[in-house]
Structure 1
Amino acid sequence: MASPLSPHDVTGQLTTFRSYVALIADPTPGIVEKKLKAAQELSENFENVVISPQYSQFLGEALKVFLKILDDGEPQFIAEQNMQQLRKLLLEIIHRIPSNEHLKKYVQQILSLMFKLLKIENEENVLVCLRIIIELHKQYRPQMNEELQNHHLSKIFEPRSQIKVKDVTEVNVDTILAETFTTTTILTDKKNADNQNISYNIIPRGVLSLKVLAELPIIVVLMTSPSFNKEVFVDFIAAQIKTLSFLAYIIRIYQEQVQQHANHMVSGLLGLLEFCPQEVAHLRKELLIAARHILATDLRNKFVQCIDKLFDEKILIGSGWTTHESLRPLAYSTLADLVHHVRQALPLKELSMAVSLFSKNVHDESLPSSIQTMSCKLLLNLVECIRAKSELENGNGRELLMRMLEVFVLKFKTIAKIQLPQILQKCKQTPQSPTQQPAALTDAKQNVEVKVEAPKTPTVEESKPPMTSSSSSLLGDTATKDTEKAWTEKVGERSKACRHEKLWKMENLV
């Protein structure tokens, strides 16, 4: 078969393409192989067809032929047959047609046939049909009421024996297709040139195919999304979060009753974090506040088995427009308190995930300095746990600790080269008394002091004043503010001069 003419000869090119379509439409028996070659030529040069000035007219002629062949022809279930390859190629060409005004008038006709083929075609062709349906629904949003039903799940996992026959003509395809859910190989007694048994692959019906089943969720979403009431869904999630907030309020009173259903509560909270609408930031904030109260109780131990999901920032914070700026401090401080209290129960893998997340926070200048300082404290509190778990699990905790050391060294470098010079320059320009120091200077001092002093004090509890609550926090709880204030006033004057001296020593050191 001759190749298409030069792209410059548009008229001659369209004539050639029309001859391919005419050959595909020819009802003469015994020329399926020629039809397949014509379709292959058309497929290979389809881009030249699309850019032709007469493309709109050609599209109508071609679609009329393609849809008729697919509608009138019988589905094929042996992959090697020419008719199966022709039908699949015609579907692929339809899928490649650009979604523009030229195609719009044929959308309903194409979709009607695609839904019909879903019920009778083989797996390979149905997968292409689904891609066509998905693409047309994305671009044109047509109104459809088709339904797909599967009633074959109970037979899927039954064992299957190898099918062997003398010749492929002995195969009762319909019988095999009734219980075939994936491509099945049939072995014949005939030998090929290499003296190996010739085999044929039976393609399952699309309506029974497991591959087709895997593709269905996205098409269901696309087909039902025009009628999906997002406002009702947001209200439903809000009601669930309000219920969780109420539970968080009374949880200390009814801890025994809550413990009986703790696993359901944990899975429910994680589900709300995952499905909370991304664009509704205030709901996620309320959810995080409720989670913070729940995690302040002994129920936090129930989260150890699924804490890896909380290290996933897409679940914890979401991907909304404002959540990145507004919710990260709350989310990270809540997670840090949880990790701090359950660190002894965490395996080395989860400890490594915590180190990875909070090490990034140490160097994230978009976070408040209090969160960076909190991240430093948490990392230092994980040192002993990493050592112990590494010995217990025969893991590589040494490498993890070296990574943490590198994090702190690089932070020192950032403070020495960037932050300290800027702060000192500001101090020189606007002399102030020690009680009126810039906030940036205070933040830098806190960062330096945490890194220098924390190794001497391995736990957060030892570096805090006496707590009035049963549990402590890396940032401090509301209930302990008065105690911490009194403690600070008591030792503030005594430690102020010491902190100043350490800062200037640190400056000279770096």
Structure 2
Amino acid sequence: MSPIQNFEQHSSRLVEPDLPTQTRLEMVVEVRESLEITHTADYSSFLKCYFKASSLILLQITKPQFVDNLDHKLRNVVLEILNRIPHSEVLRPYVQDLLKVAMQVLTTDNEENGLICLRIIFDLLRNFRPALEKEVQPFLDFFLKIYQNFGLTVGHFLEEVKTEEGKPVEISAPPSDQSLSLATHFRNGKINPSTRSFKIVAESPLVVMFLLQLYSRLVHNNIPALLPLMFDAISVTGPEKLPSRMKRQFIELKGAQIKTVSFLTYLLKSCAEYIRPHEESICKSIVNLLVTCSDSASIRKELLVSLKHILGTDFKRGLFPHLDTLLEERVLVGTGRACFESLRPLAYSLLAEIVHHVRADLSISQVLPVVSLQFVCFCFKKIICLSERVIILEPMQ
């Protein structure tokens, strides 16, 4: 594709009211493929022409879409462009407006575009920190909103599962137009709204953690309101039986909960006074997630790391009632081969630490599995130690 010769003419045509959506999409793809220009002296001219055009496309020419159509693709490519432009001093005059555009799209669009907006906003808050401190609170308000909506999002997910099974549906709150709309998104396979998205929730804890480092005072002011919502979110267990076509949503649900647990364990020491009332809840949630999450080595390792953080504090008392569950090997390491091979040492070392703390209270039914596991581990270590010698001796036999 040939490079764009005249930014001004190209950007003016891009926002013509009667331009077909397909043509507009092709033109923004041209812009995306010409982004190397933003690393040259022409970056200022590029922004002057295309920032306004991008804003018009996102805020006026198109509307948020919740299905994968041309308008959605158009908005997605425009956001990709805004996400990839360099955050140099050339961008500074546009920062406030770019932040407003990204916040508007984040709070009204679908989850795919919302994820891009999360990155745009976070990069702006990180790179232009002194000037944007007043803009942090609306961003934090968004996180509060998605955790407030978490129960409703899960409720519709469960409703879909129960409908699949032909059972009556129980809804804790009266259905609204928005909730019915969300149910339609699940059933018809459309793109979820960003404010009710497990994917967005999964990304949020990491962003809040970095904001906690960049804007400590502001974030700490929101912790008392945010943490109870997070504990409510991780306490949801999900359905016992799951139709195969709902597996993706279930994995996204568990992923969102695990990321939230990781954030909460990160705060164990700095925000202990706010977490203390939820000591039992966080421990129970970690165990439940170990029982129900998929056999992904990376996901299970993240949970085990959270368990390790818990054991480093006096919150570990909340784990002791769950020893029987943790003694089951499939709970600690899962059933997948990759999990078994990579996580077994960490899992057993954590289990040994838990057993050490409760050794005086172990029942006979608990002692036997503990001894059995320790015996297996001991034999396994000895076999590894002798394996090299066996390999050396084999050709000599």
TM-score (norm 1): 0.42
Match of 2:27 in 1: 38
Q: CA deviation at 1:34?
A: 1.3
Q: Distance in 2 between matches of 1:85 and 1:53?
A: 30
Gaps of 5+ in 2: 165-175, 224-266, 288-302, 333-349, 391-397
2:128 pairs with 1:128: no
Q: CA deviation at 1:218?
A: 3.2
Say whether the 8 Å CA contact 1:206–1:212 is kept in structure 2.
yes
Task: Give the structure with the higher percent helix.
Answer: 2
1:92 to 80, 96, 111: 80
2:70 pairs with 1:69: no
Q: 1:336/1:406 Cα in 2 relative to 1: closer, same or farther (>3 Å)?
A: farther
Q: CA deviation at 1:86?
A: 1.2
Gaps of 5+ in 1: 5-12, 163-173, 187-200, 242-261, 313-330, 355-381, 387-399, 414-510
1:323-381 superposed Cα distances (whole Å, 9 cap, x missing partner): xxxxxxxx9996785698869756999778x6xxxxxxxxxxxxxxxxxxxxxxxxxxx
Q: 1:274/1:208 Cα in 2 relative to 1: closer, same or farther (>3 Å)?
A: closer
2:386 pairs with 1:409: yes
Q: Distance in 1 between matches of 2:194 and 2:73?
A: 16
Match of 1:463 in 2: none
2:205 pairs with 1:217: yes
Amino acid corresponding to residue 406 of structure 1 in structure 2: I
Q: Distance in 1 between matches of 2:10 and 2:95?
A: 23
Say whether the 8 Å CA contact 1:77–1:202 is kept in structure 2.
no
Say whether the 8 Å CA contact 1:14–1:49 is kept in structure 2.
no
Say whether the 8 Å CA contact 2:108–2:193 is kept in structure 1.
yes
2:195 pairs with 1:207: yes
Match of 1:24 in 2: 14
Q: Secondary structure at the match of 1:15?
A: coil
Q: Secondary structure at the match of 1:77?
A: coil
Match of 1:15 in 2: 5
Amino acid corresponding to residue 122 of structure 2 in structure 1: I
Q: Secondary structure at the match of 1:179?
A: helix
Q: 1:404/1:180 Cα in 2 relative to 1: closer, same or farther (>3 Å)?
A: same
Q: Distance in 2 between matches of 1:57 and 1:74?
A: 25
Mapping of 1:413-428 within 5 angstroms? none
Q: Distance in 1 between matches of 2:384 and 2:327?
A: 23
Larger Rg belongs to: 1
Q: Distance in 1 between matches of 2:97 and 2:182?
A: 30
Aligned residues: 279
Say whether the 8 Å CA contact 1:70–1:87 is kept in structure 2.
yes
Q: 1:73/1:207 Cα in 2 relative to 1: closer, same or farther (>3 Å)?
A: farther
Q: CA deviation at 1:121?
A: 2.0
Q: Distance in 2 between matches of 1:69 and 1:264?
A: 45
2:51 pairs with 1:54: no
Q: 1:129/1:22 Cα in 2 relative to 1: closer, same or farther (>3 Å)?
A: same
Q: Secondary structure at the match of 1:26?
A: coil
Q: 1:86/1:185 Cα in 2 relative to 1: closer, same or farther (>3 Å)?
A: farther
Say whether the 8 Å CA contact 1:79–1:85 is kept in structure 2.
no
Cα RMSD after superposing both structures = 5.3
Q: Secondary structure at the match of 2:26?
A: helix
Say whether the 8 Å CA contact 2:64–2:110 is kept in structure 1.
yes
Q: 1:61/1:348 Cα in 2 relative to 1: closer, same or farther (>3 Å)?
A: farther
Q: CA deviation at 1:220?
A: 3.6
Match of 2:173 in 1: none
Q: CA deviation at 1:264?
A: 8.7
Percent sequence identity over matched residues? 19
Q: Distance in 2 between matches of 1:239 and 1:210?
A: 24
